[in-house]
Amino acid sequence: MSETFRCPDCGAENPAGAEHCVQCNFPIAAHDRPGADARPARPAVTPPAAPAPSAEAGREAAPPAARSKAPLPRPLSRPPRRPRPGAMPHEAVHLWVWVGGIVAVLLIFMAVTWRRDIGRTVEGASPEQQQRADQLMKELARDSTNAAAHVGLGDILYDTGNWSDAIVHYKAALRRDSTLVTAIVDLGVCYYNLSVPGEAERLFRLALSKEPRQPIALFNMGIVHERRNENAEALRYFRAAGEVATVPAMHEAVREAVARVEQRMAGGAR
Q: Domain limits at 170?
A: 39-66+93-269
Q: Distances in Å between the alpha carbon of 41 and those of 10, 32, 141, 182, 226?
A: 21, 14, 37, 21, 11
Q: Which residues pair with 20 in a beta bridge?
A: 27
8, part of any domain:
no
| Coil, strand or helix at 177 | coil
Inform me whether the pLDDT recorded for 71 exceeds 50: no
Query: Helix H segments across 37-83?
Result: none
Averaged pLDDT for residues 175-190: 96
Q: What is the per-residue pLDDT for 198?
A: 95
Domain of 183, CATH number, reads 1.25.40.10
pLDDT (tens digit per residue) in 224-258: 999 999 999 999 999 999 999 999 999 999 999 99
Q: Phi/psi of residue 5, each to 5°? A: -150, 160
14, part of any domain:
no
Q: What is the per-residue pLDDT for 109?
A: 59
pLDDT (tens digit per residue) in 73-113: 333 333 344 444 555 555 555 666 666 778 676 766 555 55
29, part of any domain:
no
Which of the two residues, 82 and 169, has the higher pLDDT score?
169
142, part of any domain:
yes
86, part of any domain:
no
Looking at the structure of the chain, the number of domains it has is 1
26, part of any domain:
no
31, part of any domain:
no
Q: Using CA of residue 119, residue 121, residue 126, residue 129, what is the dihedral sign?
A: negative
47, part of any domain:
yes
pLDDT more than 90, % of the chain: 53
* pLDDT level of residue 16 (50, 70, 90 thresholds): confident
